[in-house]
Amino acid sequence: MSDLLLELEGLSRRFGAVKALDDVTARVPPGAIGLLGPNGAGKTTLLKILIGLLAPTSGAARILGRDVRRESLRIRQDLGFLPETDAFVLGLDAVRLVSLAGMIAGMPRRQALRRTHEVLSTLGLEEARYRKLDGYSTGMKQRLKLAQALVHDPPLLILDEPTDGLDPRGRADMLRTISGLVRSGGKSLILSSHLLRDVEELCDWILVLNEGKLVWSGRIDDLRSPRESRFRVSCLSGEARLREALAREGCELLDETRNGGLRICAPSGWDGARFFRIAGEAGAVIRELGPDRESLDQLFERLVRGG
Amino acid sequence: MAEAAGAASARAWEGRLRPVRLRWIPIAREGLRLLAQRKLFWPLYLLCLLNFLFNFAVIYLAAHVAVQQEMIAKMAGRFLENYLRGGEGGPYYHFIMSQAFMVMLILALAGSGIIGGDRRQGALLFYLSKPIARFDYILAKFAIVFFVGSLVTTVPALVLFLEHGLLSPTWEYLLSNADLIGAIIAYGSLISAALGLAMLALSSLLQRTAAIVAAWAAIFIFSPAIHAFVREGAPESLRYIDLWFSLRSIGGLLFGVRRQGSPEICAAIIAGVAIASVFVLARTVRAVEVSR
């Protein structure tokens, strides 16, 4: 079996004239993967191809070393899927739904029931487990969707917008739960979310899609690692003189930060000491100096806009 | 919740999984439980059994009451005559054919939401994201409608056959008519399968209960009416519009009673309906809604 969690080779999917996925190629190691992209980027199409619900028009995809075209049953055996939309059998209570999920996954009836009670109580649904699903709140539904994905203890979780519709507390709870499953439980994760903070909190690798094309695949840290030549500087005094001095030394002023500082692109090889020396010579006093790290939102914007 | 989740993941499940080919069974079982929970199901099922109860009583009377009594014979009418003659498949043919109408009614309740409801509520995604094939899902839903159909046709017909045999003074009836068991099972299964598949296809295609029931009624109530309306002066072949005609014809063949129409054409029509239904199911049972 391959050591990679995900291998995509020229993966494409068309719906008539629309290219939902366009020649996507990536190799991703096991761990927590975030799938990012604006609406219509092809995230859900990719997820459905990986689960085997949709066939690619061309190209190949392997997940956990298995080919999505030929081994979709084995793939679904090894994963738990939390869909974005409600996917329940109305009329059932939580125990019947989750145990049904376990039995369809192949668990014997008694073991599925026992495991269902364990999973529901660990996800905080113990008291509502015999209540009809029609009366569940959004948060309870999200936890129930996670429960039915977890019941057969799969090594991989594929979660499509797991915090969608949750209040801040519910979102924090859900993220902690998923984090526990990944970090303590040793599960791999593919998380599709439009909430960049969720991805930032849970994932160490991201795939960014835009208009069906892959625009980035790599570790978040690599993408966000301080770009060596970019700094943020704020001054107690003499900011104008520092600007002039830096410009003379070949620095480029990118823009001003929200709290009045400067974003500077310096020639390669510069370090903090050089800024302090130039400030001292120019009669300016630096209050704060540091690498110019991008937030995930800025990264996302930059990638999607091709910056 | 986070600590608990960590604990849950530590308690890994290490049991043995069942073979893939048996995984449609829990879906069918849960579907039948859901059906049995519907308030309207049991009254309708009892209604479906009225004909059975009447026949059951007639056979009982035939065995225990002096059948020469004219009044009773009149009351029981043709049913009694049929059973008294014995050795013929006629009573079972008529019984199953009249139950077929009840199958149509009960499937309108039981079957209308069976796949359409799953599509509407997103349950299709729940099922198909699990390690089963689409075929397993369709098989499970078919098992539900087939089981319900058999409860209304095959099972009561077999009970009537056994009742008649056991109430006879000798084993002669059971022994000499053992081939009727095969005919009852075959005909009951044919009706349950044909109507069940048609209902599943309609349910998956139309989704909304009202539309499904309307289309169902158009096929099984209005097609005989259209046939009757155009019968005068119309070509003979128009009678095949009526699906009941084909079902009756095959039933006549199985039970050895008088029949109309060509069995080959009737069998082809029923097979055509079944194949068309399977084709529709294969096209519509998907967990991906493609919007263009």
**What are the boundaries of each domain within chain A?**
6-223, 228-305
What fold does the segment set A6-223 form as a domain? Rossmann fold (3.40.50)
Work out the mean pLDDT of chain B and round it to a whole number: 81
Q: Are B36 and A109 in contact (CB under 8 A)?
A: no
Question: Is the pLDDT at A266 greater than 80, yes or no?
Answer: yes
For residue range A121-138, what is the model confidence (pLDDT) as tens digits?
988 888 889 998 888 888
- Which helix (H) or strand (E) covers residue A233, if one does? strand A230-237
How far is A148 from B81, CA to CA, in rounded Å? 58
To test the contact with chain A by mutation, choose from B129, B134, B136, B137 the residue with the greatest count of A C-beta atoms within 10 A, namely B129
Please give the average per-residue pLDDT across A161-172, as a whole number.
88
A17: exposed, middle or buried (C-beta count within 10 Å: 0-12, 13-18, 19+)?
A: exposed
Nearest CA in chain A to B36: A91
Q: Give the pLDDT confidence score for residue B7 in this predicted structure.
A: 42
Please give the average per-residue pLDDT across A204-214, as a whole number.
90
E strand segments, A79-229? 79-82, 156-160, 188-192, 205-210, 213-219
The residues that bridge with A21 in the sheet, in sequence order, are A13
Q: Which of A58-67, B10-19, B117-126, B260-269 has the lowest mean pLDDT?
A: B10-19
Please give the average per-residue pLDDT across A98-120, as a whole number.
93
How far is B190 from A81, CA to CA, in rounded Å? 38
For residue range B95-131, what is the model confidence (pLDDT) as tens digits?
898 888 888 888 888 777 788 888 888 899 999 999 9
Give the one of B6, B27, B30 whose C-beta lies nearest to A184's C-beta: B6
Please give the average per-residue pLDDT across A162-168, as a whole number.
87
Question: Is the pLDDT at B4 greater than 50, yes or no?
Answer: no
Q: Verify whether the Cβ–Cβ distance A180 to B3 is below 8 Å.
A: yes
At B65, the pLDDT band (50, 70, 90 cuts) reads: low
To test the contact with chain B by mutation, choose from A46, A48, A104 the residue with the greatest count of B C-beta atoms within 10 A, namely A104
For residue range A63-79, what is the model confidence (pLDDT) as tens digits?
999 999 999 999 999 99
Q: Which of A266-275, B98-107, B215-224, B234-243 has the lowest mean pLDDT?
A: B234-243
Q: Give the pLDDT confidence score for residue B148 in this predicted structure.
A: 94
Class of the CATH domain delimited by A228-305 = alpha beta
Please give the average per-residue pLDDT across A52-64, as a whole number.
93
The residues that bridge with A291 in the sheet, in sequence order, are A231
No. of H helices and E strands in chain A?
A: 11, 14
Which DSSP state fits B220? Answer: I
- Which alpha helices (H) appear in A89-131, and where do they start and end? 94-104, 109-122
Q: Give the pLDDT confidence score for residue B3 in this predicted structure.
A: 44
Please give the average per-residue pLDDT across B15-36, as a whole number.
87
Q: Which of A18, A8, A63, A11 has its CA nearest to residue A40?
A: A18
Q: Verify whether the Cβ–Cβ distance B121 to A89 is below 8 Å.
A: yes
Which DSSP state fits A29? Answer: -
How far is A172 from A159, CA to CA, in rounded Å? 16
Tokens of A230: 């970019």
Does the beta carbon of A62 lie under 8 angstroms from any beta carbon of chain B?
Answer: no
Q: Which residue has the higher pLDDT, A299 or B213?
A: B213
How far is A214 from B48, CA to CA, in rounded Å? 59
Identify the residue whose tokens are 């090889």.
A269
To test the contact with chain A by mutation, choose from B130, B144, B209 the residue with the greatest count of A C-beta atoms within 10 A, namely B130
Q: Give the pLDDT confidence score for residue A107 in this predicted structure.
A: 92
Q: Which residue has the higher pLDDT, A147 or B237?
A: A147
Does the beta carbon of A172 lie under 8 angstroms from any beta carbon of chain B?
Answer: no
Tokens of A229: 């030549």
Q: A6-223 and A228-305: same fold?
A: no
How far is A78 from A68, CA to CA, in rounded Å? 12
Question: In this structure, are strands A32-36 and A188-192 parallel, antiparallel, or unpaired?
Answer: parallel
Work out the mean pLDDT of chain A and round it to a whole number: 88
Q: Verify whether the Cβ–Cβ distance B130 to A105 is below 8 Å.
A: yes
Q: How far is B287 from chain A (nearest CA, A)?
A: 6
Identify the residue whose tokens are 């989750």.
A98
How far is B25 from A107, CA to CA, in rounded Å? 12
At B68, the pLDDT band (50, 70, 90 cuts) reads: low
Q: What is the dihedral of CA B277, B279, B280, B283, to 10 degrees?
A: 160
Which DSSP state fits A93? Answer: B
Q: Verify whether the Cβ–Cβ distance A107 to B125 is below 8 Å.
A: no
Tally C-beta pairs within 8 A across A and B: 146
Nearest CA in chain B to A19: B292
Q: How far is B110 from chain A (nearest CA, A)?
A: 14
Does the beta carbon of A95 lie under 8 angstroms from any beta carbon of chain B?
Answer: no
How far is B226 from B150, CA to CA, in rounded Å? 28
How far is A220 from A48, CA to CA, in rounded Å? 24
Max mean pLDDT among A144-158, A246-260, B228-242 falls in A144-158
- CA–CA–CA angle A267, A270, A271 (5° rounding): 155
Please give the average per-residue pLDDT across A243-271, as a whole number.
83
Q: Verify whether the Cβ–Cβ distance A184 to B27 is below 8 Å.
A: no
Taking residue B140's Cβ as centre, other Cβ atoms within 10 Å add up to 23
Q: Which residue has the higher pLDDT, B15 or B202?
A: B202
Question: Is the pLDDT at B8 greater than 50, yes or no?
Answer: no
Q: Verify whether the Cβ–Cβ distance B1 to A124 is below 8 Å.
A: yes
Residue type, B114: I
